[in-house]
Amino acid sequence: MISLAFAAMCLVLGLCGAARAQDSQETQPQAMSVRMADSAMKRWPNGRIVPAAAPWVWDHATSVLLQGITAVWHDTGSSDDFNYIQSAVDPFLSADGSSIRTYDPMNFSVDDILLGRQLLLLYATTHDEKYHRAAALIRQQIAFQPRTPEGGFWHIGRRPQQMSLDNLYMIEPFYAEYARTFHEPQDFADITKQFVLTETHTRDPKTGLLYPSWDEALDQPWADKKTGASPVFWSRAMGWNMMALVETIPYFKPDDPGRAKLLAILNRLAAALVRYQDPTTGLWYQVTDKPQGKGNYLEASSSCMFAYSMAKAVRLGYLPARYSEFAARAYAGVVKNFVKVDGNGAMAFTGVAKGSDLTPDQTRENAYAFYASVPVNDDDPRGAGVFMMASVEMETAPHSTQRAMRAADPAGGRAERPKPVTPGN
């Protein structure tokens, strides 16, 4: 259960109640999720997260932002939210959806798959066949994505035999939703395999934490020469993994044996992570297990990811109820330390580590310094997106009626059953 202290904080900050004000007579304060959505849509018109002069490309950061807007839309039903999602996706598509501008499947980058989730959302809502055609292009990349000898997806074509934790968020929720939507049940065994292989090769038996990457060929300078794992625990990598689990499991049928395997992975990871939650702030450090390490810092996006994942997993019955307290402490710490409001009421999300990835320049010896020296961004669209997702979970968690309705949804409540909003209303 959410603590009384946290509930009181929600009331003070206006966190509870996700509906937008419908007219000037509305007196309820707007929820944090709605305020961040409104600020994000003004900051990045039409989902364009790059400066006007820069190329606008099909990428995962846009999708994470839109995942946040989607979570808010499913709670509010506001056409403003839906229209924003559509206006961010449509410029990339040809008129019939047979091609996607700036998307090159021959790069074999799993990061390019994530935006396929918005294509499925738009297809489910509008029934416009162009979104199905475009989603099928993304699904085709999965069919041809290079794999390790065991069958694990490479992270990107130019890095042979390498898998990363973020693979799972970039691919598996889309893969599972596509399989569920278009009746391809045989894919769930492959989806299960990706989670199992990743945990097998990245889990540290001593801490239970997961290393960010794994090199099957054992030839990268950062790879352990026996296990192939990278050497440092990076919180956001585990955040991608945990979000992937809670957003993929709902698409599994209850009697699918893979579902139990994914639930076990989720429970092992959650049990490991809460041991490293900062007792003072409720947050997690950039390098998870080194709070006193030189240059290490509390990181915003991973803390949101863990809060979101634990809260959602409790709501859906995937984790024991006690994890609600860990989620609540994390979310309170995020709001206190990383949410800023300017004089005009615009909300910003700060403290997000910039994108970072181990490359051949990184060695086992300098890996810690590499992660601890990653600078932080303000107004990072990925940070805003995961904050909205966490906010919606925390705002709705105390309301038993809503929670019961969502728990009855086999897709987990939000991802598969959009509200019938007509574009332009």
Q: Do the domain assignments include residue 24?
A: no
Domain membership flag for residue 412: no
Count Cβ atoms within 10 A of the Cβ of residue 251 and give its class: 0-12 exposed, 13-18 middle, 19 or more buried: buried
Banded model confidence at residue 33, pLDDT cuts 50, 70, 90: very high
| Residue 25 covered by a domain | no
The verdict on residue 295 lying in a domain is yes
26: pLDDT strictly greater than 90: no
Q: Which of 48-52, 249-253, 279-283, 357-361 has the lowest mean pLDDT?
A: 357-361
- Name the DSSP letter for residue 310: H
Number of structural domains (the chain) is 1
Q: DSSP string spanning 134-173?
A: HHHHHHHHHHH--B-TTSPBPSSTTSTTEEETHHHHHHHH
Which pLDDT band, with edges at 50, 70 and 90, does 379 fall under? confident
Instruction: Give a yes or no: residue 419 inside a domain.
Output: no
pLDDT in tens, 200-228: 999 999 999 999 999 999 989 999 999 99
Give 213's strand partners. Answer: 164
Place of tokens 């009697």: 255
Cα–Cα distance measured from residue 130 to residue 118, given in angstroms and rounded to the nearest whole number: 13
For the stretch 126-160, pLDDT in tens is 999 999 999 999 999 999 999 999 999 999 988 88
The pLDDT, as a whole number, for residue 147 is 97
Question: Does any domain span residue 422?
Answer: no
pLDDT digits (tens, 9 = 90+) for 88-111: 999 999 999 999 999 999 999 999
For the segment 362-366, the average pLDDT, to the nearest whole number, is 84
pLDDT reported for residue 404: 34
Of the pLDDT bands very low, low, confident and very high (cuts 50, 70, 90), residue 28 is: low
**Mean pLDDT, all residues of the chain:** 88
On the CB side of 392, how many CA atoms lie within 13 Å of its CA? Answer: 27
pLDDT band at 8 (very low <50, low <70, confident <90, very high): very low
Whether 348 maps to a domain, the answer reads yes
- Expressed as residue numbers, the domain containing 108 is 4-15+30-406
Contacts of 188 (CB under 8 A, 6+ apart): 176, 179, 251, 252, 253, 256, 258
Would you say residue 307 has pLDDT above 90?
yes
CATH number at 45 reads 1.50.10.10
In a domain, 21, yes or no: no
- Provide the b/e sequence for 163-196 (b: ≥16 CB within 10 Å): bbbbbbbbbbbbbbbbbbbeeeeebbebbbbbbb
**39-70 confidence digits (pLDDT tens):** 999 999 999 999 888 999 999 999 999 999 99
Q: Distances in Å between the alpha carbon of 358 and those of 97, 241, 253, 362, 410?
A: 35, 17, 36, 6, 37
Q: Which amino acid is at 46?
A: N
Residues 6+ away with beta carbon under 8 Å from 251: 173, 176, 177, 179, 180, 188, 411, 412, 416
Confidence of residue 360 (pLDDT cuts 50, 70, 90): low
Is the predicted pLDDT of residue 326 greater than 80, yes or no? yes
Give the pTM. Answer: 0.89
What was the pLDDT predicted at 356? 74
